[in-house]
């Protein structure tokens, strides 16, 4: 992915639910975490 120490956010949708995925890139590792799926209306408020 990247080795520049950036944090990336993605708005994803699957099965009618939306969630935000966060990817933290470091020189030695990449960590991915996702929030619990919510309705599109709830995620739009975020």
Tens place of pLDDT for every residue, the chain, 46 residues? 455 668 999 999 988 899 999 999 887 888 999 998 899 888 888 7
DSSP codes, 1-32: ---S--EEEEEEEETTEEEEEEEEE-SS-EEE
Q: What is the pLDDT of residue 18?
A: 92
| Closest by CA position to 12, among listed 41, 46, 45, 35 | 35
Q: What is the pLDDT of residue 3?
A: 54
Q: What is the pLDDT of residue 44?
A: 83
**CA–CA distance from 43 to each of 13, 28, 40 (Å)?**
10, 32, 5
Query: Where do the structural domains in the chain lie, given as residue ranges?
Result: 7-45
Strand 7-14, strand 30-34: pairing: unpaired
Q: What is the pLDDT of residue 5?
A: 65
| pTM of this structure | 0.70
Helix/strand/coil for 39: coil
């Amino acid at each position: 992915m990247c080795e520049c120490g950036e944090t990336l956010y993605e708005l994803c949708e699957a099965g009618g639910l939306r969630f935000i995925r966060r990817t933290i890139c470091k020189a030695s590792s990449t960590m991915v975490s996702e929030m619990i799926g919510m309705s599109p209306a709830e995620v739009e408020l975020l």
